[in-house]
Amino acid sequence: MKRTNTSAWLMAAATLLPLAAQAATVQVTVLGRDGKPLADAVVVIEPASGAKPAEPTPVSAVISQQKMQFVPATSVLPVGSRVTFTNLDTWEHHVRGVPAGLASLNPGTQPGFELRLDGRAEGKSPASAEVTLDKAGAVQLGCHLHGSMRGFIFVADSPWTVVTDANGTATMQGLPEGAAKVRVVHADQLLEVTPVAVNITPVTALSLPTQVQPRRRRP
């Protein structure tokens, strides 16, 4: 009888241990081919232990079409999020979303979508359409009418997926200490950057060089 209790206690302790270790804050700075900080890079950290955090809560987001650009150009959104595409230009856009071919990051079959959005008429509210992102993975955005328009959505099933800011930095919290893999995906280089092995300590800051050459630097 006592033996049973002990093993039950051990099992409980083993279950709790990984939680106790979840204290690390990780700051990743991604650099482009020119050595400058790379904005709009999606950084994904995967603990080697396979520890999975709770899925992030879906959100409602807006991606505008403005002056022939998607704004924001790159979004990381939790699975189940809803995106409203809003055309702020006075001319039509025909937005398409195509699952990006990243085998290891896009195992699901994110369905594509097409949205025809009329140009904004004076005094009227802009045309918009909503899409729900049901599956994790990468989606490339384009416009059938304007080949130069490119955007990127990374649908994440982990909160440890963050897009870099103008300083090329992504910060994540609550990661378990220990071995992990860092992946970087950038819309301008859909070839995956080779994942980097790191050891996460309570405060980890690392710099990650890549060969990504952004098409256009943010002003």
The answer to whether the CB of 170 falls within 8 A of the CB of 43 is yes
Stretch that binds Cu ion, among 47-55, 91-99, 163-171, 181-189 (CB under 5 A): 91-99
> Using CB under 5 A, which of 30, 79, 93, 170 touches Cu ion?
93
DSSP states along 29-85: EEE-TTSSB-TTEEEEEEETT---PPPPPP-EEEEEEETTEEESSEEEEETT-EEEE
Residues of span 36-65 touching Cu ion by CB under 5 A: none
DSSP states along 134-157: -S-EEEEEEESS-TT-EEEEEEES
Cβ count within 10 A of residue 167: 11
Q: Which is nearer to Cu ion, 116 or 181 (CB)?
A: 116
> Using CB under 5 A, which of 24, 26, 76, 143 touches Cu ion?
143
96 sits near Cu ion (criterion: CB under 5 A): no
Q: Which is nearer to Cu ion, 32 or 126 (CB)?
A: 126
117 sits near Cu ion (criterion: CB under 5 A): no
Closest distance between Cu ion and the C-beta of residue 67, in Å? 11
Q: Name the site residues for Cu ion (rule: CB under 5 A).
A: 93, 143, 145-146
